Structure formats: structure tokens, C-alpha cells
């Protein structure tokens, strides 16, 4: 689920699994389709092992993750906060 409380937007995508590839595809869509004009996107996310820049490198060619990561500011939920 992606949620932007400031704009009142929410997107829920149901997949058959919860893999690094699934997460990477969602982040790519966020950067290139939903917030193309944004200079920086702050993402607050749970502490799951798939929620990492390494997932982008596992999924895409090496130059693609760098372009995506340059637009992102990752923040994790506080421990025991999710």
C-alpha cells in the first residue's frame, strides 16, 4: 500500500507474493509515473527485508536503481511503531 496523507491519496496493489521485485516495481512506478515532477520523495516504510535499495539492484540494470534512489529519501517507522 502506498499512502500520501497530505494529498489524500492511497494506492493498494495486491500481488501473489511480497518479494524484493514486487517492492522495486512499486517504487519505480512511484518515481516515474505518480510523482515524476517531484525533486525528492520521502518514503516512510516498515522495516521489512525487501524494503531496501538493494531490492532495486536485484531487479533492474545497475544504472536504473541509482536514478531511482537519487529521488528518494527513506525514513523507517520507529521500532515497535508499525
Confidence bin at 82 (pLDDT 50/70/90)? low
- The residues facing 75 across adjacent strands are 44
Q: How many Å apart are CA 66 and CA 6, to the nearest integer?
A: 27
| Cα within 13 Å of Cα(25), Cβ side | 9
Q: 24-76, pLDDT tens digit by residue? A: 999 999 999 999 999 999 998 877 767 788 899 999 998 999 999 999 998 87
* Secondary structure of residue 76 in the 3-state scheme: strand
Structure confidence at residue 78 (pLDDT): 74
Q: Which residue has the higher pLDDT, 15 or 9?
A: 9
Residue with cell 536485484: 58
* Mean pLDDT on 6-27: 89
Q: How far is CA 63 from CA 4, 9, 21, 67, 72, in A?
A: 28, 30, 16, 7, 15
Q: Which residue has the higher pLDDT, 40 or 14?
A: 40
Amino acid at each position: 500500500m502506498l499512502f500520501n496523507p497530505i494529498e489524500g491519496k492511497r494506492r493498494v496493489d495486491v500481488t501473489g507474493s511480497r518479494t524484493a521485485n514486487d517492492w522495486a516495481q512499486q517504487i519505480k512506478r512511484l518515481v516515474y509515473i505518480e510523482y515524476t515532477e517531484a525533486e525528492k520523495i520521502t518514503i516512510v516504510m516498515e522495516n521489512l527485508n525487501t524494503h531496501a535499495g538493494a531490492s532495486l539492484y536485484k531487479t533492474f540494470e545497475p544504472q536504473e536503481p541509482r536514478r531511482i534512489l537519487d529521488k528518494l529519501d527513506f525514513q523507517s517507522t520507529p521500532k515497535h511503531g508499525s
